[in-house]
């Protein structure tokens, strides 16, 4: 927006749009959230003062789904960035939550008829890429069949009296066995390598 349009928006809403900064991924979310929040004022300013076409209903719909897609990631970032408490017990819970979130957004998108807005669904490849990247980067946290799986995360969750209830029985048993073996390692001289037998269920 121009300085004039920004001034008009601030006068109408007492808020300005938030700058989208390339070095801060969540600035895109904050920008789009504010844009959607002040949608009517922005539409009026674009039409009356900038003399340019406003976004189409389909484009506003895309913005809403981008916000919905990114909100969960922003929440998880905030929760795991706490500097006054440990957060390792939350990692498995939140990473699984992100996977379920992507599935939820994908299901919601399937119910929409983008053709009625004369646009194609722009999210399929994006969600697929995000899901793939989550698996690549964090598979060792959330997938016990991953060759690099680290049981310390589910063990930390298991030790939390509330979050342990979010673990399926199979992972609770795995965490319990891992802690038992670690307890032996911590308090006794290890005599041999001990491994937890893991059976993957697909």
Q: What is the pTM of this model?
A: 0.77
Helix axes 88-110, 124-142, angle to 10 degrees: 160
Q: What is the pLDDT of residues 11-63, one digit of tens each?
A: 555 556 666 777 788 889 998 998 898 888 877 777 776 666 788 899 999 99
> What is the rounded radius of gyration, in angstroms, for the C-alpha atoms of the chain?
23
Backbone φ and ψ of 65, nearest 5°: -75, -30
pLDDT (mean) for 189-195: 55
Q: What pLDDT is attached to residue 11? A: 55
Q: What pLDDT is attached to residue 195? A: 57
| Domain ranges for the chain | 1-54, 57-187
How far CA 82 is from CA of 29, 75, 86, 153, in Å, comes to 20, 11, 8, 17
Q: Which residues contact 155 (CB under 8 A, 6 or more apart)?
A: 175, 178, 179, 182
Q: What pLDDT is attached to residue 41? A: 80
Which one has a higher pLDDT value, 96 or 8? 96
pLDDT (mean) for 69-88: 90
Which one has a higher pLDDT value, 183 or 154? 154
């Amino acid at each position: 927006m121009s300085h004039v349009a920004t001034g008009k928006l601030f006068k109408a809403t007492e808020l300005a749009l938030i700058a989208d900064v390339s070095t801060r991924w969540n600035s895109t979310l904050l920008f789009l959230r504010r844009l959607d929040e002040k949608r009517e004022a922005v539409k009026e300013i674009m039409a009356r003062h900038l003399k340019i076409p406003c976004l189409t209903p389909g484009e506003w719909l895309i913005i809403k789904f981008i916000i919905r897609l990114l909100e969960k990631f922003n929440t998880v970032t905030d929760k795991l960035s706490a500097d006054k408490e440990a957060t390792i017990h939350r990692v498995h819970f939140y990473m699984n939550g992100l996977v379920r979130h992507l599935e939820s957004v994908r299901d919601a998108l399937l119910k929409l008829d983008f053709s009625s807005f004369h646009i194609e669904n722009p999210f399929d490849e994006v969600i697929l890429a995000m899901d793939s990247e989550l698996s690549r980067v964090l598979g060792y946290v959330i997938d016990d069949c991953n060759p690099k799986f680290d049981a310390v995360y589910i063990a930390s969750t298991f030790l939390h009296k509330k979050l342990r209830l979010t673990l399926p029985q199979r992972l609770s048993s795995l965490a319990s066995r891992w802690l038992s073996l670690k307890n032996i390692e911590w308090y006794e001289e290890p005599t041999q390598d001990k491994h937890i037998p893991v059976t993957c269920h697909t």
